[in-house]
Structure 1
């Protein structure tokens, strides 16, 4: 009745108003969905729609975070900004019709290119999680993949290979390099294929990566081997001096680092075998032996001056 009286209002009026106080300001109660006259309190309209921001906040609860729920973050790498709703597979009886079919379905509104990107991004995130890589490396990897995908210069190569190679490049660009074997272990692509795609991506994007050194892997390898800091410092010094003296020409930094760790550990109390070091560094025992033989003849020049020997240099293994 109140709504009808409001509609009758003054002659010629097209707005909702109080029949007794047509010029009075109306108060909108969004919780109840009513419009109320500020003079007499008459409800002159109902079913008011709230056109404000549609979110819910938990900031008043006992929490250190403002847990405002406004949907998923927009992904600038997708053409549509990823502003779509994905309905998961129903798990209870309420999600199915009587004939067993699902009540709700996803609309096929996402383009095929965006679906490929979403799948690749999911694979990149999964690979990064397996070796505990931070978010900034995931973001850089996804950006590299997006650039390669837009150029369409690697047609014929699988997205898995491109994702793995982009992750390898991102790790090196962010200063936390991983070996090809480490990337191969968390992907479904061979080491050789990752190496091929890696070179193609550098050429296609006209970018480069810093050369890896023995120091890039030393702290991680020694930490995984539970070696003390003194052994780590000695191994770092040995590897650096071996490179400066040109004792290991043509050898990869990983094999040189592994040989230096082996020499430093054998001279200390915390000895590690070639197999233990090879399993952590991802190199074969024979590779460690070959690099060790190159640096052993000048071992007395490689150790730091403050190193405490538990095993003298002349008693180190002669492989």
Structure 2
């Protein structure tokens, strides 16, 4: 190897051609003078990504030296070495048993966490939740698991309740029925775990309002912005003048959507709205009956009626 210094700085260059650019041979790890071919630097480390992969090889084994990303929720289990299956005669003893085997170093705690995180990711994918909610759900489950606050409860129920809490804390709440639809747990069990987790972690969630669900329900039903805006105003005014006491925000939102749609040319039935909102037809009907006598005060002033208020359904 030959090198020299230019301008009193430690710069590797060819002594015969100090101004010639160097060519890097990444395969050999050498730096070569572009003028005379002299190797002026060797053992250069390639810090780039290893793009070569063997995942399409037979057997489904990928011997790539680049492992998966480290998971901070697991207790150092990512820093393990996996020994591939032996193929030569030297890999087996006289009885045909592999000489080198993977030791089962994953403890029960990490195994439980892995299964729960996998289930959380699967549930979130079914209802198209973003990665931020998945991360918050994973952290909540990790806190509950480490604190051992819900002993005796199924991990699937805890994971479902953590997903429900994460959705509300991130400002995109989902109903209990929506969480039940993507999990194997009943609404009653998720509700119990939800209360226990809030108490154990000493955390809280914001109260849900009709506005949290209105845009999503109307978009799923294919209603125009005019109907969505009217339904939002109707639900808000109904809550302000307290004409639907004791009713859940979801049932109020569903009844408001029904009233606004019936007054427009995009009419939706109670069953159509109930299937999307997860509310029974009788629940929508009961809330609508309370709101109907005050319909003239609930609609926004600029709403364009296709069906006048006096011709709205009287259930």
Same-fold status (TM-score > 0.5) = yes
Secondary structure of the residue aligned to 2:185 is coil
What is aligned with 2:220?
224
- Structure-2 change in CA distance of 1:69 and 1:86 (3 Å): closer
Aligned match of 1:300 in 281, 292, 296?
A: 296
CA distance in 2, matches of 1:298, 1:310: 18
CA distance in 1, matches of 2:173, 2:236: 18
TM-score (norm 2): 0.76
- Structure-2 change in CA distance of 1:285 and 1:105 (3 Å): farther
* Conserved 8 A contact 2:116-2:159: yes
CA distance in 2, matches of 1:87, 1:141: 33
Secondary structure of the residue aligned to 2:205 is coil
* Conserved 8 A contact 1:55-1:69: no
- Structure-2 change in CA distance of 1:232 and 1:31 (3 Å): closer
Aligned-residue offset at 1:107? 3.6
What is aligned with 1:11?
none
Aligned-residue offset at 1:33? 8.9
CA distance in 2, matches of 1:88, 1:245: 70
Aligned-residue offset at 1:109? 1.4
What is aligned with 1:215?
211
- Structure-2 change in CA distance of 1:172 and 1:30 (3 Å): closer
* Conserved 8 A contact 2:141-2:162: yes
| Residue 280, structure 1, aligned to residue 280, structure 2 | no
**What do the CA deviations read for 1:142-190 (whole angstroms, capped 9, x no partner)?**
0000000011010000000000000000000000000000000000100
CA distance in 2, matches of 1:178, 1:105: 46
Aligned-residue offset at 1:51? 7.8
What is aligned with 2:50?
56
- Structure-2 change in CA distance of 1:304 and 1:293 (3 Å): same
Aligned residue runs from structure 1 range 1-319, under 5 A: 31=27, 55-57=49-51, 70-80=66-76, 82-84=78-80, 107-319=103-315
* Conserved 8 A contact 1:258-1:278: yes
Q: Which blocks of at least 5 consecutive residues in structure 1 are unaligned?
A: 1-28, 35-40, 42-47, 59-67, 90-96
Q: Which blocks of at least 5 consecutive residues in structure 2 are unaligned?
A: 1-24, 31-36, 53-63, 86-91
* Conserved 8 A contact 2:77-2:106: no
Give the superposed CA RMSD: 3.2
